[in-house]
Amino acid sequence: MDYILELKDVSFFTQNTRIIQGISLGFEAGKATALAGSSGCGKSTLLKLSAGLIIPTEGDALYKGKSIAGMNRSQNLEFRRESAFVFQDSALWANQTLLQSLDLPLRIHFPGMSKTQREKRIEEVMNSVGYKRSLTIRPASLSMGEQKLIAFGRSMLCKPSLLFLDEWTESLDDSAAQRLITLVKQQKLRNNTIIFVSHNLHIIRELADYVIMLAGGRTYTRLAGEQVKSGRELVELLEKDTT
């Protein structure tokens, strides 16, 4: 099987502590894969390794068959344009206004886009995520939920085909969370590839084609199809890993 993204015997450790240990995984194009497991099992680290945000201590992460760590500047820029990452803590620039933070990826990846075109695109995306306040303020003026909306909107600006989402609905009320889930569903309908971290059974069942259960930095269960949608195995594993 051909994978759009592949981890080959990937390990990551810091200060002599192994967080991820010898994981090999493939992610199918156009499918949604959930990374699940107990707190501290390495889900977020694995997501960042997959996105090339951190470099494996051992092994390699490949995008379309190319090592992410070995990409030249042009290849890396293309990968960054085609992918987007939503951080658990939103990771908005504290010393910039929201508009500046949102404008930056468009200026980098679409240098020929005019200021008016960039502003129109930002307005479209903010409307889609349901953000109604000013964009001239800084992140400190926002609630955690509002920061999540901005962070998710930022990920949508360049119309990525590969999405990495780390607990992207946390701190949102049910209505706002469902709005973002619906937007992710729309990405699936466009055959985009989604890899996400969640402990929420409802979200996993609603979105995931595959579930990778982690324990101690190792993959120990891969679920697919009816095992995700209606099987008891997923529930049992999630209950086991949250107790």
pTM: 0.93
Please list, in sequence order, all residues whose beta carbon lies within 8 angstroms of the beta carbon of residue 45, skipping any fewer than 6 positions away.
12, 19, 20, 54, 217
Torsions phi, psi for 156 (to 5 deg): -90, -15
pLDDT tens by residue, 114-143: 999 999 999 999 999 999 999 999 999 999
In a domain, 193, yes or no: yes
- Residue range(s) defining the domain that contains residue 188: 5-91+161-241
Instruction: Please check whether residue 166 is in contact with residue 209, taking contact to mean a CB–CB distance below 8 angstroms.
Output: no
Task: Please tell me the predicted confidence (pLDDT) of residue 243.
Answer: 45
pLDDT tens by residue, 164-184: 999 999 889 999 999 999 999
Q: Residue 166: which CATH number?
A: 3.40.50.300
In a domain, 26, yes or no: yes
Total count of domains within the chain:
1
pLDDT tens by residue, 48-88: 999 999 999 999 999 999 999 999 999 999 999 999 999 99
Instruction: Tell me how far apart the alpha carbons of residues 5 and 111 are, in angstroms, rounded to a whole number.
Output: 27
